[in-house]
């Protein structure tokens, strides 16, 4: 990789970081978009690695930079903060030579702050990163015994409240395993919308290394860009984590069932449900946000499965008052911490008060969902997170609440990346008995 090519890859990474920071984009869409114009596969891979890891390790990078700065990092303008983090990542967590990491960062700083301030911006970044490069091996990492939360916060790149939550629930050894697993890029998982063996054969014929997943219809395709797959574009496969597939299977939906999918966007679960219930069943999807409802419609059209989509609030679905369903799924809005392998920035965007506020909404949504279950039907609650307040406490609260006596629990499971190699998904379900 030449110096110019290396700079182009780093420039693309910065574009993605800016989209995440300033536009609120998610990295799993912003990064592929930012690197797509790079001509070489290795450049796209390098840029993606830099962007994802800069987001993942930003808390640790900020701590390290704090030891090289003479002022708080927050006082540095955002464009240069991103350049500094990108440079610090290369110094702390890659094999990039320090000279190259510093030189390319200086060049990027001059681009980010053009005009008369460019030279000064370059000099500032040069001084900070050169200072950090001299102290990388002597940074004062917290002691793992005396300060376990602070140690894990920095060594596994997660905020203290997330570390503390996992320590309290799972103990030191398991918590550390979960945190490290949450840093491992998951690779692509596909759901075959038809015959899985036929999809495997198609992908292998195209020269791709794929294997069956642990869940029926799942195909693991690490390193593959789904946008480049004809099978995805033509509806024979859908990018979907196995945890989401397990949510759908947990509903028990089968041929002929009438299904209600609440909070349905972007539609992966709705279309999966439509496949399971077949032409004799039905799937009604309710989604609050119009653009996400349109995603459900497009997904159903691409897969050629019928889904009736309504834009509306799951707390008061735009359905007939008497409408009841054999299967009701509530995949609730949540902190999304379970998606951290694919969206590492989520750990830094969320605060503990977010979990508490979302739990209040989840409790109300679950009661509304339960009202729509026919006697003998199933109710499934899922949340792609692992905080207790959004998972077991919501489920326990429902069971001890006014509708609890009418429902019998079927299952309860917390998927986690260290053991299940999936998103961190909570799934629980009940059968309505009265």
List the catalytic residues: 384
Residue pair 294/273 in contact (Cβ under 8 Å)? The answer is: no
- Tokens matching residue 221: 């395709």
Q: Using alpha carbons only, how large is the chain's radius of gyration in Å?
A: 24
Q: Which residues pair with 411 in a beta bridge?
A: 429
Q: What's the distance, CA 148 to chain centroid?
A: 26
Burial class (CB in 10 A: 0-12, 13-18, 19+), 188: buried
SS (H, E, C) the chain: CCHHHHHHHHHHHHHHHHHHHHHCCCHHHHHHHHHCCCCCHHHHHHHHHHHHHHHHCHHHHHHHHHCCCCCCHHHCCHHHHHHHHHHHHHHHHCCCCHHHHHHHHHHHHHHHCCHHHHHHHHHHHHHHHHHHHHHHHHCCCCCCCCCHHHHHHHHCCCCHHHHHHHHHHHHHHHHHHHHHHCCCCCCEEEEECCCHHHHHHHHHHCCCCCEECCCCCEEEECCCCHHHCHHHHCCCEEECCHHHHHHHHHCCCCCCCEEEEECCCCCHHHHHHHHHHCCCCEEEEEECCHHHHHHHHHHHHHHCCCCEEEECCCCCCCCCCCCCEEEEEEECCCCCHHHCCCCCCHHHHCCHHHHHHHHHHHHHHHHHHHCCEEEEEEEEEEECCCCHHHCHHHHHHHHCCCCHHHEEEEEEEECCHHHHCCCCCEEEEEEECC
How far is it, in rounded angstroms, from Cα 230 to Cα 35?
20
Nearest to 220 by CA among 421, 419, 9: 421
């Amino acid at each position: 990789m030449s110096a110019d090519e290396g700079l182009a890859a780093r420039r693309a990474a910065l574009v993605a970081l800016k989209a995440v920071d300033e536009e609120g984009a998610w990295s799993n869409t912003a990064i592929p978009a930012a690197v797509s114009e790079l001509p070489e596969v290795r450049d796209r891979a390098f840029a993606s690695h830099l962007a994802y890891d800069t987001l993942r390790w930003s808390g640790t990078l900020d701590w390290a930079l704090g030891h090289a700065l003479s002022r708080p990092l927050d006082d540095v303008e955002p464009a240069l903060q991103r350049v500094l983090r990108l440079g610090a990542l290369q110094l702390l967590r890659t094999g990039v030579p320090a000279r190259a990491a510093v030189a390319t960062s200086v060049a990027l700083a001059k681009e980010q702050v053009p005009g008369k301030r460019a030279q000064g911006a370059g000099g500032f970044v040069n001084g900070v990163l050169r200072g950090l490069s001299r102290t990388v091996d002597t940074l004062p990492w917290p002691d793992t015994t005396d300060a376990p939360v602070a140690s894990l916060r920095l060594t596994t790149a997660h905020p203290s409240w997330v570390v503390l939550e996992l320590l309290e629930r799972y103990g030191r050894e398991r918590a550390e395993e979960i945190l490290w697993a949450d840093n491992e890029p998951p690779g692509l998982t596909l759901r075959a919308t038809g015959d899985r063996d036929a999809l495997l054969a198609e992908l292998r014929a195209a020269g791709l290394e794929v294997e069956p997943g642990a869940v029926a219809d799942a195909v693991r395709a690490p390193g593959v860009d789904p946008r480049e797959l004809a099978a995805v574009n033509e509806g024979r496969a859908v990018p979907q984590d196995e945890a989401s597939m397990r949510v759908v299977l947990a509903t028990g939906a089968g041929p002929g069932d009438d299904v209600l999918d609440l909070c349905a966007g972007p539609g992966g679960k709705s279309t999966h449900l439509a496949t399971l219930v077949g032409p004799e069943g039905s799937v009604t999807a309710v989604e609050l946000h119009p653009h996400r409802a349109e995603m459900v419609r497009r997904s159903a059209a691409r897969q050629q499965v019928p889904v009736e989509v309504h834009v509306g609030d799951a707390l008061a679905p735009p359905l007939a008052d008497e409408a009841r369903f054999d299967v009701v799924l509530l995949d609730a809005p949540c902190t999304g911490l379970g998606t951290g392998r694919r969206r590492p920035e989520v750990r830094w965007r969320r605060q503990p008060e977010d979990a508490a506020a979302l739990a209040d909404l989840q409790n109300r949504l679950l009661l509304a969902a339960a009202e729509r279950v026919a006697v003998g039907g199933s109710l499934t609650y899922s949340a792609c997170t692992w905080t207790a307040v959004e998972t077991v406490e919501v489920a326990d609260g429902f069971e001890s609440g006014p509708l609890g006596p009418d429902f019998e629990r079927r299952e309860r499971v917390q998927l986690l990346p260290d053991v299940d190699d999936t998103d961190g998904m909570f799934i629980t379900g009940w059968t309505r008995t009265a």
